[in-house]
Amino acid sequence: MNAVIIAVLVMLILSLLRIQVVLALAIGALVGGLSGGLGFDQTITAFTDGLGSSATIALSYALLGAFALGLSRTGLPDLLVSGALKITGKKGDSKKKALSKALLLFIIITISVFSQNLIPIHIAFIPILVPPLLLIFNELMIDRRALASAITFGLTAPYILLPVGFGLIFHQILQEEMAKSGLTIDLAMIPKAMILPVAGMVLGLLFALFVSYRKSRRYENEEIADERMNTGPSHTKQSVVIAVVSIVATVTVQLITESMIMGALTGMVLLFLSGSFSVKESDVIFTDGMKMMAFIGFVMITAAGFAEVMRATGDVEVLVEQTSGLFAGNQIVAALMMLLVGLIVTMGIGSSFATIPIIATIFVPLAQELGFSTLATVAIVGTAAALGDAGSPASDSTLGPTAGLNADGQHNHIWDTCVPTFLHYNIPLILFGWIAAIIL
């Protein structure tokens, strides 16, 4: 069996058995490397070499966590909770609670979408917004699997469809890699090709919110893992202005420098200079804030090592080539198989952006040979790359929601985030991406 398939299966099975995802990724990489013929020493070398490639991302998330905790010292989370309390109904007022629940879910989705396009801060908003609202979610008995589905939708669907913010990066990578493989496309074609697959995600979101996780789910009002998130000073007009200025500065610097690290440091410096926290508090805030996002950082680093081992085996290309030999000129079978290969690759790597260069090399010439139209080819490659981002244990689109929703220890990464998002987004993506490939 192909080493990539073996490695991904091992990683997923261990994760579903509630083995810590970092350990599951490391074991999956070792098994994949050995089954791919690398040998123990080569596997370890490849894994180690891959770890450094995500160090910048891991440090970025750690500093964003520190910035989020520093921001809590301005009282902004207290303001958010106060605002949420105003829209929640009194006990027994079931109609108003239902409306409040719907409104909160809509707000969460909107902020998640904006974090990808309008204000491209990605998952940085989660540790700022979500933990302070957990008590409100508990009061409304909102199923956190619905919240995870809502956040992940906002983190993935916008970049797949809209050429703005992170979406522009995704679309540019797609355009460049397809051009390298012999198919020149206009950026304007990508949204046209991806609108049907994203429509499938919208249906998946609606199904998750109004069918799968519609019923109330009870949670205990536990202490937040980091108590300092709730013990900051009450907000004042001045502190809120400081918080808003620091957020704007963070986003601006991030966009100008294209560095989340510089953006987070800018925000922290402004908060410090404004007196939001003292010199004595700064060490605690930095340490605890970085701890808050450390889980994501370690998973991202380990996932990079896993991906490097998969590349070193050479079985990613073999998987794509072997799969292409099964098509026998049948467009319907070919489209489905290409989408499934994209799912396997992205589930293992955890990044749809990194999947495009891997699959475009083979999929573009193959699609042309099989007679797929240009729009259909874009839909196949774009959807195949996007598949797995929602649902992968190593994706920041699932790690981010878990980091916020598990602040009180009541939300499981695999069963409460990965499995729900996998079922509600990957299945519709495959189905609607398949339809797009056939009809476009």
Q: Which two tokens stand for residue 42?
A: 């080569």
Give, for 39, the enclosing helix (H) or strand (E).
Answer: helix 39-51
- One-letter amino acid of 418: C
First to last CA, the chain: 34
Rounded distance between C-alpha atoms, residue 271 and residue 243, angstroms = 8
Residue 47 lies in a domain: no
Distance, CA of 387 to CA of 358 (rounded, Å): 14
Q: What is the pLDDT of residue 53?
A: 64
φ, ψ dihedrals at 278, nearest 5°: -90, 175
Tell me how crowded residue 56 is: count the other CB atoms within 10 A of its CB. Answer: 13
252 within domain boundaries: yes
The count of structural domains within the chain is: 1
Name 419's Cβ contacts closer than 8 Å, sequence gap at least 6. Answer: 16, 391
pLDDT value, residue 151: 94
pLDDT mean by block of 10 residues, the chain; 440 residues: 83 80 86 89 87 72 75 71 62 66 88 78 77 85 94 92 82 85 87 95 95 91 55 65 82 75 83 78 76 70 79 77 68 88 81 77 80 92 89 86 89 92 95 93
How many angstroms separate the CA atoms of 305 and 324, rounded? 27
User: Helices marked H in 183-257 — which ranges?
Assistant: 189-207, 237-257
Is residue 312, in this structure, part of any structural domain at all?
no
Question: Is 145 inside any structural domain?
Answer: yes
**Distance, CA of 320 to chain centre:** 25
The C-alpha angle 244, 256, 171, rounded to 5 degrees, equals 105
Answer yes or no: is 163 within a domain.
yes
Give which of 349, 414, 413 is closest to 386, Cα–Cα. Answer: 349
pLDDT at 231: 45
CA gap 244, 250 in Å, rounded: 10
The answer to whether the pTM exceeds 0.85 is: no
pLDDT of residue 88: 59
Q: Phi then psi for 297, rounded to 5 degrees?
A: -60, -45
Q: Is 174 part of any domain?
A: no
Show the domain range for 266.
56-168+198-214+224-294
Q: What is the pLDDT of residue 224?
A: 60
- Least Cα distance to 230 among 12, 94, 72 occurs for 72
- Say what the pLDDT of residue 282 is: 76
- Tell me whether residue 419 is in a domain: no
Q: Determine, yes or no, domain membership for 140.
A: yes
pLDDT of 439 reads 92
